[in-house]
Structure formats: structure tokens, C-alpha cells
Chain A
Amino acid sequence: MKTTAELIADDPLWLSIIKVVAIFAFGVVMTLFMIWLERRVVGRMQHRPGPNRVGPFGLLQSLADGLKLAFKEDIRPVVADKWVYFLAPIISAIPAFLAFSVIPFGPDVTMFGHHTALQLVDLPVGVLVILACSSLGVYGIVLSGWASGSPYPLLGSLRSAAQVISYEIAMGLSIVGVILRSHSLSTSDIVNAQEGGWYFWLLPVSFVVYAISMVGETNRAPFDLPEAESELVGGFHTEYSSLKFALFFLAEYVNMVVVSALATTLFLGGWRAPWPLSAIDGGVLNTGWWPILWFVGKTFFFLFVFVWLRGTLPRLRYDQFMRLGWKVLVPVSLVWIVLIAASNALWNTPGVTTGQRLIFFGVGIVVLLVFALLLPDKRVADDEEFVPVTGSGYPLPPLDLSVPKSPPRRRLPAAPEPAEREMEPAAVAAADKETGDGSL
């Protein structure tokens, strides 16, 4: 019996190419389908039909939209940084697809006479690769916002950078729980380790934290602050149009699919058939091509939840969102990791009976409870040491800040003193008012 990694290593080149194409097609088709699904489901939730004109049930709507986008004019703002503006959408799309390469879609199959696994590569550090790819994707967003050269996209990219970094920590910590149980960073090993039980109920806290942070990581509602329509017009992609805009759309939806697929892999047993089905005929449904069905089904479950959340929840305020990430998800994950490690250590220590283990845990819980009860209520005391926050201009810039020069193309030659006299009266008045404000 060969391991998955060995199986894949034996793949001939053409088989690998087939897999690459299949994964790419999967991503693109899922994107088109998801856009349609999202619009239909949200429509249903809002008692309206949603797109239903193009093709059966409006299925071809996203294709039509995509074609339309391709024919739109490609606009680049004058002040934009040309290269970065061009690269940003590409940078955001590529890592999204890359992450697919380590997701196991199924077990061993025979494909065109070759025995192989339904996975492009099986790295010993596969989970890290996915995390690294998702952290690379943030560059697309950050750079697009910056390179657009206008304020709303910049704000969007700032938010996005803060958001992705914050939620990546929670996500990484939730995955640590899985790794502690499966003893491997390889995705296929993690799926194999779930033979005895899926991790979503063995590691419920990790699952919940991951589920929340995957929504934050993909900038989806209710955490879609980087592109908050009502606040930032469209956030980082405000200035984009045509195919570049389409690339952002593609990246967002592929990212959704990736995190859902990863959630399936890490917590829902990957390609394993759900319980009553897995018992049929000694697990025949866990072999051959069947698992792809279960895998895609579970992934769709998560994708549906994404849409459901968007249809249900209002957007969080930025500070609430950050507080949730740093003050709830991260500490909860840390405590949970300690618990898992402690239980691992207890169960691996020889000579400890189950009764003793339970007593140990009971004592731990009691200590925690007592500690929680002893913690005093947060008292809002009068503070002798209070120093006012406002008063000398915060958050205004310091008085000696040199104002950055305007971008090169917009810069007018510095007008000499007499030139001001030649301005139109209204302009002179405006200029006077400005200088007046400045000297206040």
C-alpha cells in the first residue's frame, strides 16, 4: 500500500497536467455557479426570484455577466501606479488557485490506466501551503487599494490588511488543534486521521473558530469591511473595471471555495461519506469516484452557509470586528489548544486510569470556575490619573508635518505671489479662505 504522496509522485506529466486543468476548471465553474447560486438564494430569502432569464433557471446569467465585463472599457486612473495597478488583480487570483493544489478531492482512483490519488500534490506541510497562499492573496487587495490612488480604495485596503492578518492568526490557531490531533500537516493524512471520527465534533471549538475566521479571511459578509458598499463605495476595487474587476470577483469566489474545501478537509472528514452511507457494503462509497460527490457536497454546504450569512446578518462595525478577532477568537483558541495538549498528555501517560483522568479534568474545571467567580466585576472607577485624549489636535497631524507633494501629473507650477492677483475672484476668495484656515 503506497502513501498518497508516493502515488502522486509516480504520476506521469500528462496526468498532472490533466489534474491542473481540472482544478482550474473546477475553480472557474464553481465561481460562475456560485455567483448564480448566491443571487438565487439571496433572492429567495428576500422573496424575489433572482436571475431567471438567461438559460434554464437563469443558470447562464453569470456567464453573460462575465462576457459583458470582458467587453467593458478598461480604465486606469491617471494617478494610479501603473504596474502595481495592473499586477494587483493577478496577485489576488493566482494564490487562490494555488491553494487548490493540496486539497484532496478523493482517495485512490484509476485514471486512464494509472493508479493515482485525486490530489495534485501532497506536501508534508500542505496545510501551511494553504495558509501561505491565503496570506499571499491579501497582497492583491492591499496593492489594488493603494495603487488606485484614491481614498476609498486605500481605506478598503487598510482595513483588509488589518483584517486578514488578525483573522489569519485565529485561523492558524484553530488549525493547530487539528494538527495536534492528526499529528500531521499533510492534508491527505488529516483526512485519513478522521476515519475514526470527524473533527467537527471531536474538536468543536476549533471548528467554530475556523468557521468564523474563514468568513473574516475571505472578506465576506458580515465581515466585508474592505469593500463595504455603504461606507467605502466598493472598497479596494472601486477604481477597477473590465477584466481586472472580473479577476477580483474570481479571486473572491475561488477563495470562498478554497476555505470551504479546507473546512471540509479539516473538519468534515474530507472526501469521506457521511455516517449512514459510509456503512453501506463495507464502505464501498468511500472508494473510487464516489468521494468526489461527498467532497463537493460538503463544500457546497459551507458555500451555502456563506450565502446564508450574507442574506441574514448586517455588517459588523470595524471595532466590533477587531474585538471579536483579538479578544474572543484568539484567546479561546489558545485555551483550547492548551486543553487539547493537556488531554493528549494525560492520555498518553501510561498508568493513569480513566477515573484519574476524569478527576484531573474535574479539578481543572472547578479551579477555572472558582477563578472566574473570584474575578471582580469590572469596576469603572474614577481615575485620578486621567489625561484627556483630545485637546491638542489628535487625530490631527502634528503642526510641523510637511504635506506630501501632490502626484506628479497633477502638480501645477508653484504660482508666484503676483499670479494670485490674476486669478478669478472666486478662486482668490477660496485661496484666501484656505490660507486663513491654515494659519488658525
Chain B
Amino acid sequence: MTGAELVFVPLGAVALGSSVLVVTTDQLVRAALWLVVALGALAGCFLLLAAELVAWVQVLIYVGAVVVLLLFGIMLTRAPIGRSVDLDSGNRVAALVVALGTAGTLVTVVVGGFRTASIDLGDGSAGSAGTVGAGLFRYWVLPFELLSVLLLAALVGAIVLSRRDIGPRARDGGED
């Protein structure tokens, strides 16, 4: 086993374990926190693959912003401390079967497909900010710009769904 493999195994275990905890814990906020751990472990895996930029962006965006927003949403609405009984679903057995089935299939497929494959990371420049940037703006420039369009559409949508117009009222005084 190489050094990278030695680090990868515990990282993978952490990612897997905390992902399982995300869906099994019956405390809402803790589920969000386990999600943080899972995402952090994934960032660690990215680091192992010498994808430095992606790893830190993962921490910055997913851990630092997305889950904080999740927590923000939870706290704005309920913020329960302790168990939330309504998080349990009667379908958990079915869900478990489906999840295990899917996981089993995918693991089989991926293991079957990549058993002998290995990636040469080269000098580690494949994941550097420079390479990623050049790839984004040279080859993937259209999808990149489309993503900004997507975000704009999402922004408009969020405003449409949430914003009340609190404008000036009608001259006649209107309804109360």
C-alpha cells in the first residue's frame, strides 16, 4: 500500500460513515453536521488526487456556504434540539432495500470497470488552479457561461418565489 492509499482508506471510511449518519440520525441539525464531515472527507479525497483547487473550493462552497445556508434554513424555521420524531419514515425498510440495491449495483459496476485501472497523477499539475482555469476558459467556456445563465435563472426564480412587493400603496387607501 502506498502512502496515498493509507490516507485514502480512513478518509473514505469517514466519508461513508458520516454519509450513513446523515440519513440515519434523527436529529436534524446533527444530520447537517454529519454532512459537513462527509463533504470535508470528500475534499480530503480530492486533495489526495492532487486536485488542490477543487478540494478547497469544495470546502469553501459546500462546507462554508451551502451547509451553513442549510443550517440557516433549519434555524429560521424550527431549530429543534433533540430528536425529531417526524424524521422517521415508515418507508425506511423499503428505502434501505433500494439504497443497498443501488449501492450494490454501482459498486459492482465500478469495481468491475476499474479493477485494473490506475490513474497517473503525473507531477500533480493536472488539478492545479492554472490547469483547471485554462480548461474552463479554453475548452469548457460555453458550459461555464451557461452555468452563469443557470444561476441567473435560479436567482430570478428565488426572487419570484419569495419576494413580496412591498411597494407604495394605492391612492385610494385600498384594503387593510
Q: Which residues of A contact B (CB under 8 A)?
A: 79-81, 84, 123-125, 128-129, 131-132, 135-136, 138-139, 142-143, 145-147, 149, 154, 157-158, 161-162, 164-165, 168, 185, 380-389, 391, 404, 407-408
Contact = CB atoms under 8 A, between A and B. Distances in A.
A388 B175 contact: yes
22 contacts: A80-B81, A81-B82, A84-B29, A124-B52, A124-B53, A132-B60, A135-B59, A135-B64, A136-B64, A138-B64, A143-B29, A146-B81, A161-B75, A162-B72, A165-B72, A382-B168, A382-B169, A382-B170, A383-B170, A388-B174, A388-B176, A407-B82
Interface size class of B (residues with CB under 8 A): 35 or more
A408 B27 CA distance: 13
A185 B175 contact: no
A6 to B, nearest CB: 13
Nearest to A85: B81
Centre residue among A132, A135, A145, A162 by max chain B CB count within 10 A: A132
Contacts of B83: 408
B68 A142 contact: yes
A154 B71 CA distance: 11
A123 B50 CA distance: 12
B36 A380 contact: no
Contacts of A382: 168-171
Nearest to A406: B82
Contacts of B52: 123-125
Interface of B: 27, 29-30, 33, 36, 52-53, 56-57, 59-60, 63-65, 68-69, 71-72, 75-76, 78-83, 128-129, 164-171, 174-176
Contacts of A80: 81
Given A391-B176, A407-B81, A132 B56 contact: yes
A136 B63 contact: yes
A168 B174 contact: no
Contacts of A408: 82-83
A407 B27 CA distance: 13
Given A124-B128, A124-B129, A138-B64, 8 more contacts: A123-B52, A143-B29, A165-B68, A382-B169, A386-B168, A386-B169, A388-B176, A404-B80
Nearest to B64: A135
Nearest to A83: B30
Contact of A146 (B56, B59, B71, B129): B71
Contacts of A128: 53, 56-57, 60
B59 A386 contact: no
B63 A387 contact: no
Contacts of B167: 383, 385-386
Given A132-B56, A132-B59, A136-B63, A386 B72 contact: no
Contacts of A404: 78, 80
Contacts of B29: 81, 84, 143, 146
B165 A161 contact: no
Contacts of B72: 142, 158, 161-162, 165
A135 B60 contact: yes
